[in-house]
Amino acid sequence: MAWNEPGGNSNNQDPWGGKRRNNGDRKGPPDLDEAFRKLQESLNGLFGGGKKRGDDGGGRPGKGGGFGLLGIGLVVLAAVWLYSAVYVVDEQEQAVVLRFGKYYETVGPGLNIYFPPIDQKYMENVTRERAYTKQGQMLTEDENIVEVPLTVQYKITNLQDFVLNVDQPEISLQHATESALRHVVGSTAMDQVLTEGRELMASEIKERLQRFLDTYRTGITVTQVNVQSAAAPREVQEAFDDVIRAREDEQRSRNQAETYANGVVPEARGQAQRIIEDANGYRDEVVSRAKGEADRFTKLVAEYRKAPEVTRQRLYLDTMQEVFSNTSKVLVTGNKNGQSNLLYLPLDKMVEGSRNTSPAPATTSSASNEANTRAAADLQQQQARTRESR
């Protein structure tokens, strides 16, 4: 029933919780202190910091306040746990989760959750290439000391092995690198270490180092090994510089010799080939001429058997023409006894005259042939007269 409702107990109670006085007078304005006190008691009861109405007179707090504080603590702990349990793995990363210290799973990129403290996670970048630099004095195969700097580039390819199999795997990588470097340098001569043998050394070091890491199951893959320019100790650096200059001079002289050889050898081979070709041509010419002469002789024998006198006369004329064509003077006698007159043919004068009158070498040759032909005809006439006189 409302406090001001007709017939109600409006005489004894007002909306502010106060009672009317016995003399029927109302209270003054609402008591704000009382309202704030009630609000404070409500808040204290919620957080367990004050007394409730049901508390005993001894001032002991009630049970409701303790349970409220415990609930707030549990809520705060749950929020902190949730904040630490949720994590994000980037695209370049992976995470390994251990449950009770034992491998549980490998987590890829994305939003993930684990349950600490029973779970532990280890997150690493598995795509980024890392580098490790090493430099130290090494003893070569020929018992010389050199300083060899090198750089090893590597990345994590198996995060489970990287986390679980080896304690501090990158420290193990450094120790394995030093072991592989000392083994390779110790089996290589000093000049190879200082000059052109670095690439081969880098390949051998990479192979041996990767074999060590695979044996240890570190989960690391070596991508590149770079052996930088090695140097001798400072105490003997000048002597090493002299050796290097001598090697450079040797290489320069060798290059000059190879250049000279590359220019002379092909020319000599060309001359040799030309001589061989000339010899082959001469051989073919001689063989072909011999075959032609043999074939001519065979055909001439057949014709001689058919007409011996005519063939003999023809051979005589051809022979005389060939002889006279290479002779400048000819003396002809009529018979063996020398009874006929001596015939002198000035062929040289005839040839010179024909050369002076001819406009071209071809005409001179034809004139010479005509002169020879006339001489041969005169010779035949002379022989005919000699036979008639007999």
Q: Taking the domains of the chain in order of start, what are their residue ranges?
A: 1-29, 130-231, 307-389
Task: Classify 12 as helix, strand or coil.
Answer: coil
Q: Which of 104-113, 130-139, 169-178, 235-244 has the lowest mean pLDDT?
A: 235-244
Q: What is the mean pLDDT of residues 291-314?
A: 86
Q: Please state, in angstroms and rounded to a whole number, the distance separating the CA atoms of residues 116 and 147.
A: 49
Tell me what pLDDT residue 73 has. 72
Residue 114 region, left (φ>0) first, then alpha (ψ -120 to 50), else beta?
Answer: beta
Tell me what pLDDT residue 132 has. 87
Residue 319 has which token pair? 């022979």
Chain segment 374-388, per-residue pLDDT in tens: 666 666 666 566 555
Tell me what pLDDT residue 109 has. 87
Residue of 32, 49, 30, 29 whose CA lies nearest to 41 = 49
pLDDT at 297 over 80: yes
Confidence band, pLDDT 50/70/90 cuts, at residue 66: low
Chain segment 190-199, per-residue pLDDT in tens: 778 877 778 8
Confidence band, pLDDT 50/70/90 cuts, at residue 279: very high
Which CA distances in Å does 203 have to 193, 210, 384?
Answer: 13, 11, 104
Buried b (16+ CB within 10 A) or exposed e, 55-80: eeeeeeebeebeebeeeeeeeeeeee
Residues of the chain with pLDDT > 90, as a percent, come to: 18
Residue 268 sits at φ, ψ, to 5 deg, of -65, -40
Query: Do residues 125 and 105 lie in contact, with contact meaning Cβ atoms separated by under 8 Å?
Result: no
Task: State the DSSP H helix or E strand holding residue 110, giving kind and residue range, or none if neither.
Answer: strand 110-113
Q: What is the mean pLDDT of residues 155-163?
A: 91
In terms of Cβ atoms closer than 10 Å to its own Cβ (0-12, 13-18, 19+), residue 290 is exposed
Tell me what pLDDT residue 59 has. 46
Of 52 and 161, the structure prediction assigns the larger pLDDT to 161
What mean pLDDT value characterizes the chain?
75
Residue of 23, 36, 26 whose CA lies nearest to 3 = 26
Tell me what pLDDT residue 212 has. 92
pLDDT at 266 over 50: yes
Confidence band, pLDDT 50/70/90 cuts, at residue 40: low
Q: Please state, in angstroms and rounded to a whole number, the distance separating the CA atoms of residues 190 and 139.
A: 9
Tell me what pLDDT residue 387 has. 58
pLDDT at 19 over 50: no
Alpha helices in the chain, H assignment, sequence order: 32-47, 63-85, 159-164, 169-186, 190-194, 198-216, 237-306, 308-324, 347-357, 361-389
Tell me what pLDDT residue 43 has. 56
pLDDT at 267 over 50: yes
Query: Do residues 95 and 121 lie in contact, with contact meaning Cβ atoms separated by under 8 Å?
Result: yes
Residue 230 has which token pair? 């090695």
Of 337 and 362, the structure prediction assigns the larger pLDDT to 337
130-231 — its CATH code? Answer: 3.30.479.30
Confidence band, pLDDT 50/70/90 cuts, at residue 285: very high
Query: Do residues 34 and 17 lie in contact, with contact meaning Cβ atoms separated by under 8 Å?
Result: yes
- The pTM (predicted TM-score) of the whole model is 0.45
Of 20 and 315, the structure prediction assigns the larger pLDDT to 315
Residue 371 sits at φ, ψ, to 5 deg, of -65, -40
pLDDT at 111 over 90: no
C-beta neighbour count of 280 within 10 angstroms: 10
Residues of the chain with pLDDT > 70, as a percent, come to: 66
Q: What is the mean pLDDT of residues 319-347?
A: 62
CA of residue 51 relative to chain centroid, distance = 84
pLDDT at 24 over 60: no
Confidence band, pLDDT 50/70/90 cuts, at residue 224: very high
pLDDT at 54 over 70: no
Confidence band, pLDDT 50/70/90 cuts, at residue 278: very high
